[in-house]
Chain A
Amino acid sequence: MTTSTETVAVAAPPQAPAKHRHRHKKPQLSDGARAERRLGLLLCAPAVIVMIGVAAYPICYAVYLSLQKYNLALPSQVKFVGLSNYGAVLSSPYWWQALKVTVIITVFSVALELVLGMALAELMFRTRFSRGLIRTVALIPYGIVTVAAAYGWLYAWTPNEGYLSALFNNSAPLTSTVPSLAIIILAEVWKTTPFMALLLLSGLAQVPQNLEKAAMMDGATVWQRFTRITLPLMKPAILVALLFRGADAFRIFDNIFVLTGGGHNTYSVSILGYDNLFSALNLGIGSAISVLIFICVAIMAAAFIWGFGAKAPGSDLAK
C-alpha cells in the first residue's frame, strides 16, 4: 500500500469516474443508469425523428394550412382566414355525406369481420388437419394488394363482363348507392377478415383448455362454453382487434377509389380529402378535411384506449 502514489492517482477520478467504476459502487450505478438513459434516447432517436418528420410535423402544418385561404391554382392569393375553412367544410353536405358513408362502411364491415373472423379463428385453432394450409390460405387475402383484389371485384360486377353480374341477371350494382356500398363492404370483409381472425386467434390461444373441459364436464353446451368462457376471456383480444380494424376501416380509400371512384354518393372522408387536393387543388379546405379526419380517428382511439384502461396495446412493453 503506497499511499503517496495512490493519492496522486486518485486525484484524477472526480473528473473521470468512468475509469474507476470497479472501485466505487455508488458512482458505477448512477453512471450506468446515465449511460443507459443516453443509449436509450440515442437508439430511439432515428425512429422518433422519422415519425415526427412524417406524422407530427405535417399534421401541425396541416393545422396551419387549414387556417389559410390557399388554392394551388391561385398561389398569389394566400391569406389567413381563421376558422372559415372549417366552417365551409362543416356546413357542406359533401362532408356529412362522406362521414355517413365512412361510418356505415366502418360499422358494417367491422361487425361482419368480427363474426366471420371469430369463426375463422375457431377453425384455424381447432381444425384437426391441414392447419398450416388453412392459415396460409387465410393469409392470402390479408397480403394481396388491395387494388389488385378491388379490380377483380370491379370486373366481376361489371355487366356483360363479370361472372357475379351474370349470376344476378346481368345487373349493374356499381351504378347505385346501396348496392355499391354493399360491394365495397364485401371487398373489405373478404380482404381483412383473416387479419381480424389472426388477432382473435392469439386471444383464443390464451383461453385455458382446462376451463373449457371442466365446463364440458359440468354439462355446458358448446354455445354456453363460447359465451360464458371463451368470449369473456378473449375480451382484451377482441378490443384490440376492434381498435385496429375500426381505425383501419375508417381510412378506407383503395377499394372505393377502384370500385366506384367515389361516384353515386359512395365517397368516404378519405376520398373527399383526396378529391379536394387533386381535383379542386384547394390546400386550405383539403387541410381542414385532413384535420377533421384526424380528430375523428383520435376520438375513436381515445375512447378505445380509455376503455382499455391500463391494458392499452403495448402498455406492457413500456414497463
Chain B
Amino acid sequence: MDIAIKQKLGWGTANTVAVVIVAIPLLWIVSLSFKTPGAITDPSFWPAHWTWGNYSGILTSSTFVRPLLNSIGIGLIATLVAVVFASMAAYAVARLAFPGKRLLVAGALLISLFPQISLVTPLYSIERALRLFNTWPGLIIPYIAFGLPMAVYILAAFFQQIPWQLEKAAKIDGATPWQAFTQVIAPLAAPGMFTSAILVFMFCWNEFLFAISLTSTTSARTAPAALAFFSGSSQFTTPTGPIAAAAVVITIPIIIFVSVFQRRIVSGLTSGAVKG
C-alpha cells in the first residue's frame, strides 16, 4: 500500500514537472497577449490589467486576417493533394511489385531530410519565371512535395496492415486492381489517411522559410510569415502585444488538434519512420 502511494507520488511529480515545463512558455505568450501596450515594459509574469485590445486589433487588421485565411486555404489544399497522391503511391509501395520501388522509398527519405534552404534560391528564381511567385500555388506545390514523404511512410505502413485477403476476394469477385483500390482498400485506409492529413496540415501550418521567401505581400503570405513582418496595429504601438495575440491565435488550432487527435498523431509519427 505504502509503495503504491509512493509510486503514485513519484509519477505524479514527474508528470507535473513535464506539464509545467510545457505550460510556462505558453502561458507567458497568453499573458503578453492580454497586456496593455503600456504594461509590455512591466516584466511581471501576469498582466496587471487584462485587455482584449491586442486581439481586436489584429482580428480587424488585414495584415493578419488575410494571412490567416491564406494559411487555412494553402494548408487545406496542400494537405488534400498530398494525401491523395501519397495514398496512391503508398498503395503501390505496400501492395504492388514494380520497378523503382526502392528508389521511390529512398527518394522520399531523402526529401524528408532535405535542407529546404537549398531549394529557396532555385525555387525563387523558377517561381518568378513561371509567375508562381507570391501566389497560393507557389506555396502549395512545395508544401505538397515536403508533405508527401511523411504521408507516404505513414500510409505505406498502414496499408501493410490491411489484410491481403480482402483485396484478393474483391479481385476474385471480378474487381479490377483499380476497383480493389478505390472500393475495398481506400475505405479501410481512411483512418491512416486522416492521420497523415493531420500531420501534413500541421507541417504546412508551421512552415516558415518558404512562406517568407516565396511571397512578398499578404496576398499569399501565411500567418507565421506575417507575424515576422508585423509592425503593430498602428504605427505608434509596439508590436509585442499584437504579435503575442497572433501567436496565440495560430496556436489554438494546434492545441485543439493535439487534444482531440492525440492518439492518431502519436501513432502516425511513430508508425512510418521507426519500423527500422
Contact = CB atoms under 8 A, between A and B. Distances in A.
Given A53-B145, A199-B270, A47 B85 contact: yes
B250 A37 contact: no
A43 interface: yes
B205 interface: yes
Contacts of A318: 93, 101-102, 104-105
Contacts of A136: 258-259, 262
B7 A128 contact: yes
Interface in B113-171: 113-126, 141-142, 144-146, 148-149, 152-153, 156-157, 160
A207 B203 CA distance: 30
Q: Of residues A120, A151, A316, which shows the largest number of chain B Cβ atoms within 10 Å of its Cβ?
A: A151
Contact of A198 (B26, B92, B178, B269): B269
B274 A313 contact: yes
B193 interface: no
Nearest to A70: B125
Contact of A290 (B43, B97, B121, B246): B121
B11 A128 contact: yes
B119 A58 contact: yes
A48 B104 CA distance: 7
B255 interface: yes
Interface residues of B, number: 109
Contact residues of A: prevailing secondary structure: helix
Interface in B163-204: 177-178, 181, 202
B251 A55 contact: no
A140 B145 contact: no
B243 interface: yes
Given A65-B122, A123-B18, A151-B243, A39 B178 contact: yes
Contacts of A313: 109, 153, 273-276
B216 to A, nearest CB: 10
A8 interface: no
Contacts of B149: 51
Contacts of B236: none
Nearest to A195: B269
A242 B235 CA distance: 45
B77 interface: no
B25 A143 contact: no
Nearest to B254: A143
A290 B275 contact: no
Contact of B114 (A40, A55, A132, A148): A55
Nearest to A33: B97
Contacts of A182: none
Contacts, number: 341
A306 interface: no
Given A37-B98, A143-B254, A294 B121 contact: no
B141 A53 contact: yes
Interface in B189-233: 202, 205-206, 208-209, 213, 223-224, 227-228
A312 B98 contact: no
Contact of A135 (B111, B115, B118, B266): B266
B74 interface: no
Contact of A257 (B96, B228, B257): B228
A244 B118 contact: no
Nearest to B112: A244
A258 B228 contact: yes
A179 to B, nearest CB: 17
Nearest to B199: A143
A236 B276 contact: yes
A253 B274 contact: no
Q: Of residues B32, B44, B122, B205, which shows the largest number of chain A Cβ atoms within 10 Å of its Cβ?
A: B122
Given A37-B99, A155-B240, A317 B250 contact: no
B34 interface: no
A223 interface: no
A269 interface: yes
Given A140-B258, A161-B40, 9 more contacts: A50-B145, A53-B145, A54-B144, A144-B206, A145-B223, A148-B247, A155-B244, A156-B25, A251-B116
28 contacts: A37-B96, A40-B92, A40-B97, A41-B98, A44-B98, A44-B104, A47-B88, A50-B144, A50-B148, A51-B108, A53-B145, A128-B7, A143-B257, A146-B206, A147-B227, A148-B224, A151-B227, A156-B28, A160-B41, A161-B43, A161-B240, A198-B266, A241-B274, A251-B116, A253-B208, A316-B275, A316-B276, A318-B105
Interface of B: 7-8, 11-12, 14-15, 18-19, 21-23, 25-26, 28-29, 32, 40-41, 43-45, 85-86, 88-89, 91-94, 96-102, 104-126, 141-142, 144-146, 148-149, 152-153, 156-157, 160, 177-178, 181, 202, 205-206, 208-209, 213, 223-224, 227-228, 240, 243-244, 246-248, 250-251, 254-255, 257-259, 262-263, 265-266, 269-276
